């Protein structure tokens, strides 16, 4: 890819296409030509991508001015794509090609955005490092010996590594925002219900949300306007899902109030990350913002609550994968034996672990002690957070307690890996919009600043994030090139 194109953001590429400085085919071909040395993609169909680019160019030539028309996009491989494989990085869906598009894919087609391919992830989106993929190890473009985060690590690595200008991931407990932080990107999880989940392979149905990765807040805001739509095929879709007007160009933090929970800036946050966050806070305060420390005691229970609710929902959702209706199948003498062999051999260790934990939490005699109790704590957490919105514009914290960690660094301590989501989980618990954006480097690796706003406050949060981005001056943040 030419150096000039490689340095452009998605919105800059869109503007260049509108000015006819390049064609949609040239843009798509340039990204397809970048070698995938990071394991970011699982499936690429270059011929189909270029055909979609040609169709987008015809619309450009006809005078259409859709905001991202002709800009190619990468898609996490747990989002259904008609005629393209959707494997969820699992052997149990090896060779599966959906007969329909997810709603967000139909929306991307409607916006004229060519699909570059399907990106790597932790199997069924269950993980924090993208090391649980059944097909390929995914690496961080900032340091290929380190993880890009997870579960949407492939979507993050694709944008950070210059293989795509923009991408879609999914977020159940931080799976967009944590990889964005570790790869130096902006990652946005909209309010639950503002993006259709129809065609997203379900993990935790009350937690899952599709959202974008980009190099800037403007990038993710533009893609959010494409995918935030009401959908009759998703009964959790909000009737007021479309995003309203936003003024990102004039956004400022002056006079804005941020709450910083002490529970999210504890000793669990590594010193170098904490130092970067503290410097970012000083910069925001110098620009006219106010940052107050607050207490939200229930946040200390967020991880344990999440790891009851999410596996319980996963246990139910993954019951459909039996090797009978779709996907791979292990043959055995009888139906039960075949089912056991298929699920036993085709599911990976982490997926089987979460299914068992979730099944146990839902079983007779344990439902009240675990699942019901977790839902009660979830309600308490939401009540504590909601009490802040009358006084504060956003809740601020680190996104990840550490920078990108070495691949395999948590292989002997998987619990420590799960604990890394404690800053991001609360947003999923309450369905809040939340965003991670770069706030600097620590030891040469990106640090993410996390912002969370009230339900349906997506537009305000994106405007606020644009003001923070301008005050900090850290985006776009690109890895060093060899």
Domains and CATH numbers, the chain: 1-482 (3.90.1300.10)
> For the ranges 125-129, 186-190, 325-329, 393-397, which has the lowest average pLDDT?
325-329
pLDDT tens digits, one per residue of 252-311? 999 999 999 999 999 999 999 999 999 999 999 999 999 999 999 999 999 999 999 999
Residue 110 has pLDDT above 70, yes or no: yes
* pLDDT reported for residue 394: 98
Residue 220 has pLDDT above 80, yes or no: yes
Annotated catalytic residue, options 80, 129, 147, 151: 151
Q: Which of 256, 237, 127, 181 is nearest to 450 (CA)?
A: 181
Q: How confident is the model at residue 474 (pLDDT cuts 50, 70, 90)?
A: confident
76 tagged catalytic:
yes
CA–CA dist 63, 9 (Å, integer): 22
Residue 476 has pLDDT above 50, yes or no: yes
Average pLDDT estimate for 97-114: 98
CA–CA dist 239, 461 (Å, integer): 20
Average pLDDT estimate for 417-445: 97
Annotated catalytic residue, options 76, 118, 256, 346: 76
Q: How confident is the model at residue 413 (pLDDT cuts 50, 70, 90)?
A: confident
Annotated catalytic residue, options 175, 224, 298, 436: 175
Where is pLDDT greater, at 324 or 284?
A: 284
Q: What is the pTM of this model?
A: 0.97
pLDDT tens digits, one per residue of 13-24? 999 999 999 999
* pLDDT reported for residue 451: 98
304 tagged catalytic:
no
* pLDDT reported for residue 475: 78
Q: How confident is the model at residue 482 (pLDDT cuts 50, 70, 90)?
A: very low
Of 1-5, 38-42, 360-364, which one has max mean pLDDT?
38-42
* pLDDT reported for residue 325: 82
* pLDDT reported for residue 38: 98
Residue 3 has pLDDT above 80, yes or no: no
Q: What mean pLDDT value characterizes the chain?
A: 96
pLDDT tens digits, one per residue of 32-82? 999 999 999 999 999 999 999 999 999 999 999 999 999 999 999 999 999
* pLDDT reported for residue 328: 86
* pLDDT reported for residue 445: 98
316 tagged catalytic:
no
Residue 4 has pLDDT above 80, yes or no: no
């Amino acid at each position: 890819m030419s150096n000039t194109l490689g340095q452009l953001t998605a919105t800059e590429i869109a503007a260049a296409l509108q000015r006819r400085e390049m064609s949609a085919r040239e843009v798509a071909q340039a990204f397809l030509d970048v070698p995938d040395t990071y394991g970011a993609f699982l499936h690429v169909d270059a011929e189909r991508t270029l055909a979609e680019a040609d169709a987008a160019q015809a619309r450009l030539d006809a005078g259409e001015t859709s905001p991202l028309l002709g800009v190619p996009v990468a898609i996490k491989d747990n989002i259904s794509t008609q005629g393209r494989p959707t494997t969820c990085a699992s052997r149990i869906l090896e060779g599966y090609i959906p007969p329909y598009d997810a709603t967000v894919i139909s929306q991307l087609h409607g916006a004229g955005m060519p699909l570059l391919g399907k990106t790597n992830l932790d199997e069924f989106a269950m993980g924090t490092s993208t090391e649980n993929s059944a097909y390929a190890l995914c690496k961080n473009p900032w340091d290929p010996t380190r993880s890009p985060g997870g579960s949407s690590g492939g979507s993050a690595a694709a944008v950070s590594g210059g293989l795509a200008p923009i991408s879609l991931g999914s977020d159940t407990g931080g799976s967009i925002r944590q990889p964005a932080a570790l790869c130096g990107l902006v990652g946005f999880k909209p309010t639950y219900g503002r993006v259709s989940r129809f065609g997203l392979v379900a993990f935790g149905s009350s937690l899952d949300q599709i959202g974008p990765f980009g190099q800037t807040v403007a990038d993710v805001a533009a893609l959010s306007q494409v995918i935030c739509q009401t959908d009759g095929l998703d009964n959790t879709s909000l009737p007021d899902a479309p995003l309203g007007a936003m003024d990102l160009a004039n956004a400022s933090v002056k006079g804005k109030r941020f709450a910083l929970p002490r529970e999210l800036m504890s000793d669990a946050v590594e010193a170098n990350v904490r130092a970067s966050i503290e410097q970012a806070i000083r910069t925001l305060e110098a620009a006219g913002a106010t940052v107050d420390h607050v207490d939200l005691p229930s946040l200390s229970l967020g991880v344990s609550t999440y790891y009851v609710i999410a596996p319980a929902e996963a246990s139910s959702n993954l019951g459909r994968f039996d090797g009978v209706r779709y996907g791979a199948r292990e043959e055995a003498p009888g139906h039960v034996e075949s089912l056991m062999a298929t699920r036993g051999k085709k599911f990976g260790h982490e997926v089987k672990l979460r299914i068992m934990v979730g099944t146990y939490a839902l079983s007779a005699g344990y439902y009240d002690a675990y699942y019901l109790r977790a839902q009660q704590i979830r309600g308490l957490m939401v009540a504590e957070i909601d009490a802040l919105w009358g006084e504060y514009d956003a809740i601020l914290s680190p996104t990840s307690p550490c920078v990108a960690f070495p691949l395999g660094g948590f292989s002997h301590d998987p619990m420590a890996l799960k604990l890394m989501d404690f800053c991001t989980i609360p947003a999923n618990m309450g369905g809040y919009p939340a965003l991670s954006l770069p706030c600097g480097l620590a030891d040469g690796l990106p640090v993410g600043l996390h912002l969370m706003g009230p339900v349906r406050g997506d537009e305000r949060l994106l405007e606020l994030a644009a003001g923070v981005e301008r005050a900090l001056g850290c985006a776009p943040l690109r890895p060093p090139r060899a």
